[in-house]
Structure 1
Amino acid sequence: MTVILSMFTIMMLTLLIMMMIMLISKKSMMELQKMSPFECGFNPMSNKRLPFSIHFFMIAIIFLIFDVEIVIIMPMISTMKLSMIKYWSTTSMSFILMLLMGLYYEWFNGLLNWTK
Structure 2
Amino acid sequence: MNNPYVPLLVLLVLGAGFAVLSVGTSLVVGPKRYNRAKFEAYECGIQPTPRAQGGGRVPVKYFLTGMLFIIFDVEALFLYPFAVAFDQLSLWALGAMVVFLLNAFFIADAYVWKRGGLEWD
How high is the TM-score relative to the length of structure 2? 0.47
Kindly indicate whether structure 1 or structure 2 has the higher relative contact order, using CA contacts under 8 Å at least 6 residues apart.
2
Structure of larger gyration radius: 1
How high is the TM-score relative to the length of structure 1? 0.49
